Structure 1
Amino acid sequence: MPASFLGSALRGSFFFIFGLWWSMRYPLRYLRRKSNAESQPSHGVQQVEVFEGAVKAFFALAGILAEQFVPAGPHLQLYSPKTHSWVDLIPWHYTTIYLFFLLSGLVDIASHSPLKLPLGWDRLLLSLALLVEGLLFCFHDYSDAVLDHHLHSLLAVAAFAGAFCALLEVFLRDHIILETFRTSSFLLQGSWLWQIGFVLSPPWGGPGWDQSDLSNLEFLPMCFCWHYVGVLAVLAANSVASRCCNESCQLKFGDIDVELDCGFCLRRNKMGSRGALLPESSSDDK
């Protein structure tokens, strides 16, 4: 499998996995809060946020190490005094992108840890990470590869859209429409990065698409829109699945308030006393 396809596929998988997770988590949380308007963020929700931040930081750190220390990588050398020139700036571009996502993950952890950073900081750092991603993709060295530039320009559109949405979430926290739009931007980036891999370096070998064929330039924006239609279909399907899951939990547990973010069920005490956490598989109802 060509290295360029593998790199594009791994980057795409990072965005797609987060997008799929959010496409299930946010609708479930919205339905839970809608059914109980007085509910407050629980300890389980904070644990999920910390877990998301840790996963994001882990993948970003792995990306930095992969970009720098693969056999053909720059190995942390940015400038060569022998040739008086920069060394492999493209891996350094990706390293910079991963660095900002690493910072975003660390701020996610700090925002929901005993440090108690203001919650807006996590969305602000995510917005900055997406902004840096789009900016660096705009200034890649594509030489005469017009198709390559075209593909990454469309990717930058998705990154900038996600950055703008995350910035709005700094001021409009837990807004389901903004969360859904941000989720769609992650899913779109993930699927489009896979598309880039297939176009520029097919996994079955052989040359990529013809860079000089103008019809390819006309087709790709339309293909980009088709990808977004697929993303909307995924969001719709997961929203329906979330509603079905929420309703089935309510039917099964009756007076039990479902904690959808961490997979536990919280028994509501009718006398107003403190509830007890019960596993979802428990069949006792005292």
Structure 2
Amino acid sequence: MGTFGGHALPGTFFVIYALFLTICACLKFQQSSKRGTRFKSFASFYFPYGKLQRFPLEGLLKVLLTTVALSIEIFTGFDNGKFVFMGNAQHATMFAYFGFNGVIDLLQHFKAPLPRDTEYVTLAMAFMVEGLLFKFHLHGRTQLDILVHTLLLYVVYACIISVIVEMKYRRSILSPLARAYFLLIQGTWFWQVGFILYNPSPNAIKWNEEEHGELTLATILFAWHALADFIILLVTAVTIHVCCRRGNGIAENDVGLKRLLHSGSNDQSAVCVQSDSGSDLEFEQPTVGVNR
């Protein structure tokens, strides 16, 4: 845990998780709008287009990424054949809970007889355990170390609340985006903590971990992280919206052109039918028109 890599590893996990959730939720929302159906959020999203829409990609990624991260934490926690780094054990425990949530996602995909909303409950459990571990992770640390991890603890609390709210209000796109936002803050702040406490650059100037000015600067950096992450999610959501609208416009223009060609050459008409995938366009057999 007390290394730059020990913070970059969970940071990478949470960044990937947050971006994947954002992309899938926004695509699902656009798909629902296109079909004229109500949006519904899920603790584990399927990619809504293409061959991956029937594949439990998020659950599988959770299991694979957490297994790799857990293995690294355990392997690097040994010294001279003995497991001595308790920080690694804390991180391994955190990854185990998120991996367990991934297993629940996979079980639900394969129609295991689980109680309703089990995936949300286990996800909230993972965040609760993460918060518990960080709460008692700060004994004997410097003021700067305590501050940066306390700020992280606040975000973990926000993740717990966002999961509970999402479980209640699953018809709102803001629910999964709120979860993605706090996940992204966790990810980028993990990286920032690594640079503050364990900067890997050989020419880096070490922070004075007891000076008030350094504590103030760390708090300011956290505020900028919160703003930058919000902008990242906003730009991602707007980009997906614009791309989907342009794609729909192209599809509609193609349909109109084919109708014109059919009616102009054979005095026939074509009817556009939306397929189950929500993205492919099919055409019924044209019917012969009657001249009057």
| TM-score bracket relative to the smaller structure | 0.7 to 0.9
Moved more, 44-53 or 196-205: 44-53
The residue that corresponds to 2:265 in the other structure is none
What SS does the aligned partner of 2:56 have?
helix
Preserved contact between residue 46 and residue 55 of structure 2 (Cα < 8 Å): no
Deviations 1:21-46 (A, max 9, x none): 22222122112212323379898659
Question: TM-score, normalised to structure 1's length?
Answer: 0.79
Deviations 1:234-278 (A, max 9, x none): 11111110111111221222399xxxxxxxxxxxx9698x94769
Taking the aligned partners of 2:81 and 2:126, their CA distance within structure 1 comes to 23
1:27 counterpart = 2:26: yes
Deviations 1:96-122 (A, max 9, x none): 101100111111111222326355111
Preserved contact between residue 60 and residue 99 of structure 1 (Cα < 8 Å): yes
The residue that corresponds to 1:65 in the other structure is 71
Structure 1 residues not aligned, in runs of 5+: 78-86, 257-268
Preserved contact between residue 7 and residue 193 of structure 2 (Cα < 8 Å): yes
Larger radius of gyration: 2
Q: How many residues align?
A: 261
What SS does the aligned partner of 2:127 have?
helix
Q: CA deviation at 1:150?
A: 0.8
Preserved contact between residue 188 and residue 231 of structure 1 (Cα < 8 Å): yes
The residue that corresponds to 1:179 in the other structure is 176
Taking the aligned partners of 1:28 and 1:279, their CA distance within structure 2 comes to 11
Preserved contact between residue 7 and residue 190 of structure 2 (Cα < 8 Å): yes
Change (3 A) 1:17 1:271: closer
Deviations 1:43-89 (A, max 9, x none): 86595672101111111111211111126369795xxxxxxxxx432
Change (3 A) 1:75 1:178: farther
Query: Pick from 56, 68, 74: which aligns with 1:50?
Result: 56
Query: Pick from 217, 220, 236: which aligns with 1:219?
Result: 217
- Give the counterpart letter for 1:210 in structure 2: N
Taking the aligned partners of 1:102 and 1:74, their CA distance within structure 2 comes to 28
1:130 counterpart = 2:163: no
What SS does the aligned partner of 1:117 have?
coil
Structure 2 residues not aligned, in runs of 5+: 255-269, 285-292
Q: CA deviation at 1:215?
A: 1.0
Q: CA deviation at 1:203?
A: 1.6
Taking the aligned partners of 1:177 and 1:150, their CA distance within structure 2 comes to 29
Taking the aligned partners of 1:72 and 1:168, their CA distance within structure 2 comes to 40
What SS does the aligned partner of 1:254 have?
helix
Taking the aligned partners of 1:18 and 1:163, their CA distance within structure 2 comes to 15
Q: CA deviation at 1:141?
A: 4.1
Taking the aligned partners of 2:24 and 2:179, their CA distance within structure 1 comes to 13
What SS does the aligned partner of 2:159 have?
helix
Taking the aligned partners of 1:226 and 1:37, their CA distance within structure 2 comes to 38
Taking the aligned partners of 2:148 and 2:46, their CA distance within structure 1 comes to 42
Taking the aligned partners of 1:72 and 1:148, their CA distance within structure 2 comes to 23
- Tell me the C-alpha RMSD between the 2 structures: 3.3
Q: CA deviation at 1:95?
A: 1.3
The residue that corresponds to 2:263 in the other structure is none
Question: TM-score, normalised to structure 2's length?
Answer: 0.78
Change (3 A) 1:43 1:60: closer
